[in-house]
Structure 1
Amino acid sequence: MLIVAADQRNGMKAAMTDAPDGPGSISKDELAAAKADLVRHLGNYAPAILLDPEVALPAVVDDGVLARDTALVVGLDASGYENVDGLRYTKFVEGVTPKRARELGGDVGKMLWYVRPDKQDAASRVAREMRELISACSEEGLLLIVEILTYRVEGETEEEYADAFPGLVAGGAKLAVECGAKVLKLQYPGSAEGCVAVTAAADGAPWAVLSAGVDHSTFLGQVGTAMANGAGGAMAGRSLWKDSLSVSADLREEYLTKRAQPRLSELREVVDGMLPGR
């Protein structure tokens, strides 16, 4: 797997401006234009791109911006989350069902869930949500990539969370697979040993490493380690395009072409070079 992640909304706004008034100064039309440029000058050079149905879609499909040989992954999760009894729950994009993802031109869906497997099991609300959406996507003939993010809970120190983190990533993968997940998008668990544990927890389901905002060179190393220890690919966002969007609109093509595209090629080499038989 090699997928350009461009479904961010507030995160992409933040990348577009260093202005004192922050992301709020970027309008929806400006964000849509940036996403179209990102598809045109980066996503179309990848096997697949992940886009959101609130800003990017359906325009990039209807306007012919998305290349026909680049697969479309439709993000089903809305920005932000709700906090219930100290646990985070993802919000769904209103009205975007598996059927709607298909209508938007999607080949694949993606849904993010925040998970603390030490506090949530197969009978929990988050597990129930996973099972229901995975089943609905299956009925629609839509593959669903399940993204799992772990996080610190109230009262947990940074040191305690860091110690628990690799096990939480593996535990989240295990819970998702128990709920029927066929493909996973996961945080880098921190080491080769952590990747081995995640691969075992995934129990045959391929998993891709997400970039989580780290710089490109760091992400290349993480992907190489993960691929050597059972991962199936990468889903890269800000590590590819962040510094190509913090420029004026008339410079985006140059930056995406000269900065982001070479990074994508380097990432492709890491992913392809680790495939069996290469």
Structure 2
Amino acid sequence: MIERICSSRGVVCGLALDHRDSLRVAARRHGYPDDASSLRALKVELVRALAPFTTVVLLDVELGLDAFTERGDTPLVVPLEAQGYESLGEGRITTLLGDVDPLRAVALGAIGCKLLLPYRPDLADTARRQEEMVARVVADCRAAGVLSIIEPIVYGEVPELGAAVAETARRLARLGPDVLKLQYPGSARLCELLTRACSAVPWVLLGGGTDEPTFLAQLRDAMRGGARGYIVGRTAWDAALVEDDGELSRAVSERAAFLARAVQVAEAG
């Protein structure tokens, strides 16, 4: 099913604009208005300009609904996770949105759902509960006929991030998602190990809020190591948080140029 969000060359070139709380935080950091109306308008502007450089756009209902119609023919994926999480000891548990599920995603015109979840393979209780949630979401997405994109984030202090990301991928791949959206494990060699850990499940690189040169270098490693593409968020939109209309137009054009470079890197393999 990953082909539904791929380019003609079989590569995922995704843009994540489904951020809510993190977008508000970034807006305040840049001195950009963080009210809902301003952020909705920003998402409309970004989707209108950037969707042509993507094969899939992630948009939320809360702040992104107005932008749904601006994406043209670009496939839409919506998030299922609520903001924040439940704490359980050292662990974190994802909370699902009450008003968005795979069936509503279909009604909204989406072809997939994304689930972001904090995950630590060394914390048994929370790992088990997160895996149970992934299994339910995968089953619900399959029943609704939409893609399931699972985005685990290894958080906190771990001895070896690459090993933790690979173990996370190995465990979650067994649950049958259509796509795993994963952190950069640390090197090209570790990307190859990550591909093996995913087995038959394709994976794409997430941006992680890095700067552009770092992301493009990581993307080269990921593609050479077997990734099917990328879905990038903050790295693509953070610099567009400017109030002046002229500056915004320039910033959005620069964001489009960045995404064009990312497409070139990904399709070059």
TM-score by length of 2: 0.90
1:60 pairs with 2:67? yes
Q: State the one-letter code of the partner of 2:34.
A: I
1:272 pairs with 2:267? yes
1:198 pairs with 2:194? yes
The answer on whether the counterparts of 1:16 and 1:247 sit within 8 Å (CA) in structure 2 is no
Residue number in structure 1 paired with 2:58? 50
Q: State the one-letter code of the partner of 1:266.
A: R
Q: Given the alignment, which residue of 133, 138, 146 partners 1:134?
A: 138
SS of residue paired to 2:160: helix
Residue number in structure 1 paired with 2:18? 7
Q: State the one-letter code of the partner of 2:233.
A: G
Residue number in structure 1 paired with 2:223? 227
Q: Given the alignment, which residue of 49, 70, 73 partners 1:41?
A: 49
Residue number in structure 2 paired with 1:145? 149
The answer on whether the counterparts of 1:122 and 1:175 sit within 8 Å (CA) in structure 2 is no
Residue number in structure 2 paired with 1:155? none
Q: For residue 191 of structure 1, report the CA deviation from its aligned partner.
A: 0.8
The answer on whether the counterparts of 1:34 and 1:249 sit within 8 Å (CA) in structure 2 is no
Q: In 2, distance between residues paired with 1:169 and 1:89?
A: 17
Q: 1:167 to 1:148 in 2, by over 3 A?
A: same
| 5+ residue gaps, structure 1 | 153-157
Residue number in structure 1 paired with 2:114? 110
SS of residue paired to 2:86: strand
Q: 1:10 to 1:112 in 2, by over 3 A?
A: same
Q: In 1, distance between residues paired with 2:18 and 2:92?
A: 20
The answer on whether the counterparts of 2:138 and 2:177 sit within 8 Å (CA) in structure 1 is yes
Q: In 1, distance between residues paired with 2:29 and 2:83?
A: 21
SS of residue paired to 1:116: coil
Q: In 1, distance between residues paired with 2:262 and 2:201?
A: 21
SS of residue paired to 1:90: strand
The answer on whether the counterparts of 1:51 and 1:73 sit within 8 Å (CA) in structure 2 is yes
The answer on whether the counterparts of 2:93 and 2:126 sit within 8 Å (CA) in structure 1 is no
Residue number in structure 2 paired with 1:119? 123
Q: What RMSD in Å do the two structures reach over aligned CA positions? A: 1.9
Q: In 2, distance between residues paired with 1:242 and 1:201?
A: 32
Q: For residue 123 of structure 1, report the CA deviation from its aligned partner.
A: 8.2
The answer on whether the counterparts of 1:122 and 1:179 sit within 8 Å (CA) in structure 2 is no
Which is further off, 175-184 or 137-146? 175-184
Q: In 1, distance between residues paired with 2:15 and 2:215?
A: 13
Residue number in structure 1 paired with 2:37? 29
The answer on whether the counterparts of 2:191 and 2:222 sit within 8 Å (CA) in structure 1 is yes
Q: State the one-letter code of the partner of 1:56.
A: G
The answer on whether the counterparts of 2:88 and 2:126 sit within 8 Å (CA) in structure 1 is no
Q: In 1, distance between residues paired with 2:109 and 2:235?
A: 26
Q: In 1, distance between residues paired with 2:29 and 2:238?
A: 12
Q: 1:198 to 1:210 in 2, by over 3 A?
A: same
The answer on whether the counterparts of 1:150 and 1:168 sit within 8 Å (CA) in structure 2 is yes
Q: Given the alignment, which residue of 202, 206, 212 partners 1:216?
A: 212
SS of residue paired to 1:54: helix
Q: For residue 239 of structure 1, report the CA deviation from its aligned partner.
A: 1.3
Q: In 2, distance between residues paired with 1:41 and 1:123?
A: 39
Q: In 1, distance between residues paired with 2:205 and 2:225?
A: 12
- Structure 1 stretches of 4+ moved >4 Å: none
SS of residue paired to 1:262: helix
| 5+ residue gaps, structure 2 | 1-11
1:253 pairs with 2:258? no
Q: State the one-letter code of the partner of 1:171.
A: E
Q: In 2, distance between residues paired with 1:247 and 1:207?
A: 36
Q: For residue 121 of structure 1, report the CA deviation from its aligned partner.
A: 7.9
Q: For residue 250 of structure 1, report the CA deviation from its aligned partner.
A: 5.4
The answer on whether the counterparts of 2:165 and 2:183 sit within 8 Å (CA) in structure 1 is yes
Residue number in structure 1 paired with 2:174? 178
SS of residue paired to 1:80: strand
Q: State the one-letter code of the partner of 2:71.
A: L
